[in-house]
Amino acid sequence: MYGIATREWWGCRYNGAVQPTSLDYGAYPGGDLIQQGLEDLRTRVESAEALLVLVGAPRLRRLGIDVPAPATDDLPEHLLYLRLATADPDTAHGRYNALIRLLVSFERAAECAA
Which residues constitute the domain of residue 104?
13-113
Average pLDDT over the chain, rounded to an integer: 83
79 in a domain, yes or no?
yes
5 in a domain, yes or no?
no
7 in a domain, yes or no?
no
40-55, pLDDT tens digit by residue?
Answer: 999 999 899 999 999 9
Query: 3-class DSSP state for residue 60?
Result: helix
3 in a domain, yes or no?
no
8 in a domain, yes or no?
no
pLDDT band at residue 5, thresholds of 50, 70 and 90? very low
The domain tally of the chain equals: 1
Query: 3-class DSSP state for residue 13?
Result: strand
More confident residue, 101 or 20: 101
1 in a domain, yes or no?
no
In three-state form (DSSP H/G/I as H, E/B as E, the rest C), the secondary structure along the chain is CCCCCCEEECCEEECCCCCHHHCCHHHCCCHHHHHHHHHHHHCCCCCHHHHHHHHCHHHHHHCCCCCCCCCCCCCHHHHHHHHHHHHCCCCHHHHHHHHHHHHHHHHHHHHHHC
6 in a domain, yes or no?
no
60 in a domain, yes or no?
yes
